[in-house]
């Protein structure tokens, strides 16, 4: 922007956002907010905790109010670009939220089914981009409650996930350096659609993944 449109307002706005995000020690964070993504992730945990569950009604209303016109969610308020990762987490949360959000979830389901690739994988940002293992596992979890209506996309997504396992039981790690995080996401997805992951391939994949976790556990239990 400095090179090609130095006087554009986006430059001024961007510099302002930089200064507002600057930490007291002079460091700059990678992101200045993930409020929608984090609210959904926290809500998934809070809803099962008696002392925290009362907070989830407001949290769900906040998440639902920020659904974008395309049916997805951005990872922070004030953003326009939606992504499969945040949309998945928001859907997971709203499926178990104290108030029902049928219309919101229906729109989010349409967003997800439109993002699916012909190979069964789901990208992060834009339909047609390279598929991502973590996004695909998350999409399975998001669509699982309505699986009777989406057996085709879910079956293809399960096939994609199973084909992505490496010989040592791990999976491509996507956004994280934690191989166990990717394993957990995949196993959660397979367990969410047992009727679509009931063949010998899934059983073998789960066995390899568990064996990897057992083999790599540290002496302190972590």
Reported as a pLDDT band with limits 50, 70 and 90, residue 26 is very high
Reported as a pLDDT band with limits 50, 70 and 90, residue 209 is very high
Q: Are residues 149 and 205 in the same domain?
A: yes
Q: Which of 115, 146, 167 is the last residue of a domain?
A: 115
Q: Are residues 137 and 196 in the same domain?
A: yes
Q: Which of 115, 145, 171 is the last residue of a domain?
A: 115
Q: Are residues 185 and 110 in the same domain?
A: no
CA distance 194 to 214: 23
The DSSP 8-state label assigned to residue 212 in this structure reads H
Position 32 scores a pLDDT of 85
Position 37 scores a pLDDT of 97
Residue range 155-184: mean pLDDT, rounded: 93
Residue 122 lies in a domain: no
Position 176 scores a pLDDT of 83
Residue 7 lies in a domain: no
Q: Are residues 98 and 158 in the same domain?
A: no
Position 174 scores a pLDDT of 80
CA distances from 126 to 83, 114, 122, 130, 198 (A): 8, 10, 9, 9, 31
Q: Are residues 105 and 184 in the same domain?
A: no
Residue 34 lies in a domain: yes
Q: Are residues 167 and 106 in the same domain?
A: no
CA distance 79 to 132: 22
Q: How many distinct structural domains can be found in the chain?
A: 2
Residues acting as catalytic residues: 85
Position 9 scores a pLDDT of 93
The DSSP 8-state label assigned to residue 70 in this structure reads T
Question: Domain span at residue 220?
Answer: 133-222
CA distance 145 to 188: 13
């Amino acid at each position: 922007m400095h090179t090609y449109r130095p006087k554009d307002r986006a430059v001024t706005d961007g510099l302002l956002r930089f200064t507002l995000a600057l930490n007291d020690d002079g460091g700059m964070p990678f992101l200045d907010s993930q409020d929608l993504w984090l609210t959904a992730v926290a809500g998934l945990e809070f809803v099962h905790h008696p002392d925290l569950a009362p907070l989830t009604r407001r949290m769900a209303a906040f998440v639902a109010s920020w659904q974008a016109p395309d049916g997805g969610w951005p990872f922070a308020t004030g953003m326009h670009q939606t992504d499969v990762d945040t949309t998945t987490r928001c859907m997971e949360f709203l499926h178990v939220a104290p108030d029902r959000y049928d219309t919101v979830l229906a729109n989010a389901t349409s967003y997800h089914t439109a993002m699916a690739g012909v190979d069964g994988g789901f990208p992060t940002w834009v339909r047609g981009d390279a598929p991502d293992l973590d996004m695909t596992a998350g999409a399975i979890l998001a669509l699982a409650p309505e699986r009777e209506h989406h057996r085709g996309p879910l079956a293809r997504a399960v096939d994609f996930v199973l084909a992505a396992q490496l010989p040592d039981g791990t999976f491509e790690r996507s956004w994280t350096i934690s191989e166990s995080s990717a394993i957990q996401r995949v196993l959660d997805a397979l367990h969410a659609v047992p009727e679509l992951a009931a063949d010998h391939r899934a059983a073998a994949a789960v066995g390899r993944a568990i064996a990897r976790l057992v083999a790599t556990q540290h002496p302190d239990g972590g």
